[in-house]
Amino acid sequence: MESNKLNKDVTEVLDSLGHPMRNEIELLRKIIMSSRIEIKEGIKWNCPNCSIGNEIRLDYPEVKSTKANTRCFP
């Protein structure tokens, strides 16, 4: 998979969370992004997501910050 397909803003949000399963999240992210050429990553309401066209198809699983005890998804 081309690394330039990964959205830099999504990477920054995920890096900032300090999640203990960050490596596993990254692996899933790469699998998802390599599955279809039309898939794009983005940020909406400060949460990573994947979309096809203008429709959000997948929000990444709940990611809880170990630093700030905040959740990305309500």
**59 sits in which H/E element:** strand 55-59
What is the predicted pLDDT for the residue at 8?
A: 94
Domain spans, the chain: 3-59
Distance CA 41, CA 60 (A): 10
What is the predicted pLDDT for the residue at 27?
A: 92
Owner of token pair 């929000």: 59
Higher pLDDT, 1 or 50: 50
pLDDT, tens digit, for every residue of 8-34? 999 998 898 888 889 998 998 899 889
pLDDT, tens digit, for every residue of 43-73? 887 788 888 888 877 776 555 444 444 445 4
What is the predicted pLDDT for the residue at 11?
A: 93
What is the predicted pLDDT for the residue at 74?
A: 39
62 phi, psi to nearest 5 deg? -50, 130
